[in-house]
């Protein structure tokens, strides 16, 4: 069968061998969790507990601070110890600190396992608005917002994104293998909430076992199809994925809903099923702990709000030559400034790099080879956008389409002169938006 794909893109070496065969394990619960009230795109949640309150797992700790926001639930049972503000990655974030009593008491929440047919669109959306589920692929966009498209944007296709095109990461892969049935149920609920009867589960072809497992799960499902994608970065980028599967182009500056599509990550789909069918809000997630800087790479389920240092200890700690921690994959992940910060709903990967792997080669002059133009999945000319940005000529960067950049990093990756192209484009985007506001 031919593999679906998009134009452009790069081959990034997989580096998935370390963890792809390792079953998901449980990270021992920490003594304290630190729940950030900002774990999603949109308004931060507002704490609804006081110091001294006893809480259970699944209890709302932070209430969504608006429509584009999400609830934050406790991932442990115990006592609220402190509510404070801390600067995390440069942003002031409210943290609710909860001491774990290790009772693992769950708050009883309604489950619709046996009455799934009674659920209509409105009810599913209402439930999801409370579920705390956000896009778990990294963006953290609240799911109920995604699933509430305006009337004039009819949706006809749902895509469940299991491409996992970032090197190193294997969490979605393992989730499909171990909890594929739940993922399919989540997909069905998402379809139901949108009144859509066609869904695709997209998986890169380097995961034949996941493809086989998911095909088995959808064997008797109407309208859910598993599609094999070519192994190419950024296959899992929303716009590229939609294009590869449906042939549609999300308009410049637009959203998937503009072409009738909603894309959700594998883990998000599973989280939807967990909440609606089992009454379990989004309080933990699977995270790939990997890289040359950690002693014992693993796929591990972590409770939201667990300190990264605790997760590292559970993986036998860092190697002597560890120097850099990336939150997420190596292509689009963000470098952490410290380990004493809590995990969130979007902590899908912790990539510990040793000195050798963290080393970024020195930049050389641009030789104008045009590779960046060749690989750009949105058909930009990174060479010129970045070149103008370096010279402070942001209007020219704008003319070359800087704002359409999806920041996948393919250009910086391929550049033989190792120039920080996407970095300069990002800078240009910020400046262009500033200039437009004036």
* Min separation Cβ 435 and other proteins, Å: 18
List CB contacts of 222: < 8 A, sequence separation 6 or more.
197
Q: Is 351 in the site for other proteins (CB under 8 A)?
A: yes
Q: Is 154 in the site for other proteins (CB under 8 A)?
A: no
Q: Is 413 in the site for other proteins (CB under 8 A)?
A: yes
* Min separation Cβ 160 and other proteins, Å: 22
Binding region for other proteins (CB under 8 A) out of 39-47, 107-115, 169-177, 245-253: 245-253
Instruction: Measure the CA–CA gap between 262 and 257, rounded to whole angstroms.
Output: 6
- Of 337, 395, 433, 435, the one binding other proteins (CB under 8 A) is 337
Is 240 in contact with 259 (CB distance < 8 Å)?
Answer: no
- Of 229, 414, 428, 429, the one binding other proteins (CB under 8 A) is 414
- Of 227, 272, 383, 428, the one binding other proteins (CB under 8 A) is 383
Q: Is 432 in the site for other proteins (CB under 8 A)?
A: no
* Min separation Cβ 13 and other proteins, Å: 8
Instruction: Measure the CA–CA gap between 24 and 137, rounded to whole angstroms.
Output: 17
Residues 4-23 binding other proteins (CB under 8 A) are 10, 12
Q: Is 239 in the site for other proteins (CB under 8 A)?
A: yes
* Min separation Cβ 318 and other proteins, Å: 9
In the chain, how long is the greatest CA-to-CA distance?
64
Q: Is 325 in the site for other proteins (CB under 8 A)?
A: yes
Is 273 in contact with 104 (CB distance < 8 Å)?
Answer: no
- Of 95, 226, 257, 380, the one binding other proteins (CB under 8 A) is 380
**Backbone torsions φ then ψ of 261, nearest 5 degrees:** -125, 145
- Of 25, 373, 431, 432, the one binding other proteins (CB under 8 A) is 373
Q: Is 245 in the site for other proteins (CB under 8 A)?
A: no
Q: Is 339 in the site for other proteins (CB under 8 A)?
A: yes
- Of 106, 125, 420, 432, the one binding other proteins (CB under 8 A) is 420
Closest CA to 375 of 401, 408, 328, 403: 408
User: Looking at beta carbons only, is 22 or 255 nearer to other proteins?
Assistant: 255
Instruction: Measure the CA–CA gap between 328 and 121, rounded to whole angstroms.
Output: 33
Q: Is 431 in the site for other proteins (CB under 8 A)?
A: no
- Of 33, 378, 389, 428, the one binding other proteins (CB under 8 A) is 378
- Of 365, 436, 437, 438, the one binding other proteins (CB under 8 A) is 365
Q: Write the CA distances from 259 to 228, 264, 415, integer angstroms.
A: 22, 15, 32
- Of 323, 396, 431, 432, the one binding other proteins (CB under 8 A) is 323
* Antiparallel, parallel or unpaired: β 91-100 and 78-88: antiparallel
Is 203 in contact with 214 (CB distance < 8 Å)?
Answer: yes
* Min separation Cβ 315 and other proteins, Å: 16
Q: Is 138 in the site for other proteins (CB under 8 A)?
A: no
Instruction: Measure the CA–CA gap between 349 and 212, rounded to whole angstroms.
Output: 24
Q: Is 86 in the site for other proteins (CB under 8 A)?
A: no
Q: Is 381 in the site for other proteins (CB under 8 A)?
A: yes
Q: Is 411 helix (H, G, I), strand (E, B) or coil?
A: helix
Q: Write the CA distances from 353 to 54, 202, 267, 329, 422, integer angstroms.
A: 39, 29, 25, 11, 21
Task: Tell me whether residue 312 is exposed, middle or buried, using C-beta atoms within 10 angstroms of its C-beta: 0 to 12, 13 to 18, 19 or more.
Answer: buried
Tokens for 329? 């994959």
Helix and strand numbers (H, E) in the chain are 13, 17
Q: Is 87 in the site for other proteins (CB under 8 A)?
A: no
Instruction: Measure the CA–CA gap between 270 and 176, rounded to whole angstroms.
Output: 9
* Min separation Cβ 233 and other proteins, Å: 10
Neighbouring CB atoms inside 10 A of 411's CB total 30
User: Looking at beta carbons only, is 12 or 269 nearer to other proteins?
Assistant: 12
| Sites of contact with other proteins (CB under 8 A) | 10, 12, 167, 239, 243, 249-254, 323-326, 330-339, 351, 353, 357-358, 360-361, 364-371, 373-374, 377-381, 383, 399-401, 404, 407, 409, 412-418, 420, 422-423, 426
């Amino acid at each position: 069968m031919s593999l679906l794909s998009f134009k452009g893109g790069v081959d990034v070496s997989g580096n998935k061998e370390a963890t792809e065969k390792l079953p998901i394990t449980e990270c021992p619960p920490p003594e304290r969790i630190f729940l950030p009230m900002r774990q999603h795109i949109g308004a931060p949640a507002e704490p609804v507990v006081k110091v001294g309150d006893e809480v259970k797992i699944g209890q709302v700790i932070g209430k969504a601070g608006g429509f584009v926001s999400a609830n934050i639930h406790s991932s442990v049972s115990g006592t609220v110890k402190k509510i404070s503000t801390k600067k995390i990655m440069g942003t002031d974030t409210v943290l609710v600190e909860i001491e774990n009593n290790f009772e693992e008491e769950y708050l009883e929440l309604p489950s619709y396992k046996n009455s799934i047919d009674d659920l209509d669109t409105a009810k599913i959306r209402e439930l999801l608005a409370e579920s705390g589920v956000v896009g778990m692929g990294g963006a953290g966009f609240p799911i109920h917002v995604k699933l509430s498209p305006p009337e004039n944007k009819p949706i006809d296709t749902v895509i469940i994104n299991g491409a996992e095109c970032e090197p190193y990461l294997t969490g979605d892969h393992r989730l499909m293998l171990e909890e594929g049935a739940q993922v399919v149920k989540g997909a069905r609920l998402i379809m139901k909430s949108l009144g859509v009867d066609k869904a695709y589960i997209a998986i890169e072809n380097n995961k034949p076992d996941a493809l086989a497992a998911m095909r088995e799960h959808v064997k008797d499902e109407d309208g859910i199809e598993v599609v094999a994608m070519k192994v190419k970065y950024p296959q899992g980028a929303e716009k590229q994925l939609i294009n590869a599967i449906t042939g549609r182009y999300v308009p410049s500056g637009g959203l998937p809903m503009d072409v009738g599509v909603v894309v959700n990550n594998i883990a998000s789909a599973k989280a939807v099923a967990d909440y609606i069918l089992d009454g379990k809000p989004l309080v933990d997630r699977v995270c790939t702990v990997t890289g040359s800087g950690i002693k014992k790479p693993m796929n591990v389920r972590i409770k939201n709000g667990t300190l990264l240092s605790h997760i590292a200890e559970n993986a036998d700690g860092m190697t002597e030559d560890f120097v850099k921690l990336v939150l997420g994959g190596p292509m689009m992940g963000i470098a952490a400034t410290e380990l004493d910060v809590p995990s969130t709903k979007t902590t899908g990967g912790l990539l510990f790099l040793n000195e050798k792997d963290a080393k970024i080669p020195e930049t050389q002059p641009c030789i104008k080879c045009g590779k960046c133009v060749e690989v750009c999945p949105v058909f930009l000319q990174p060479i010129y956008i970045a070149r103008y940005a370096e010279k402070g000529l942001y209007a020219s960067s704008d003319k070359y389409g800087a704002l359409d950049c999806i920041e996948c990093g393919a250009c910086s990756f391929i550049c033989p002169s190792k120039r920080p192209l996407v970095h300069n484009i990002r800078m240009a985007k910020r400046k262009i938006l500033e200039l437009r506001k004036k």
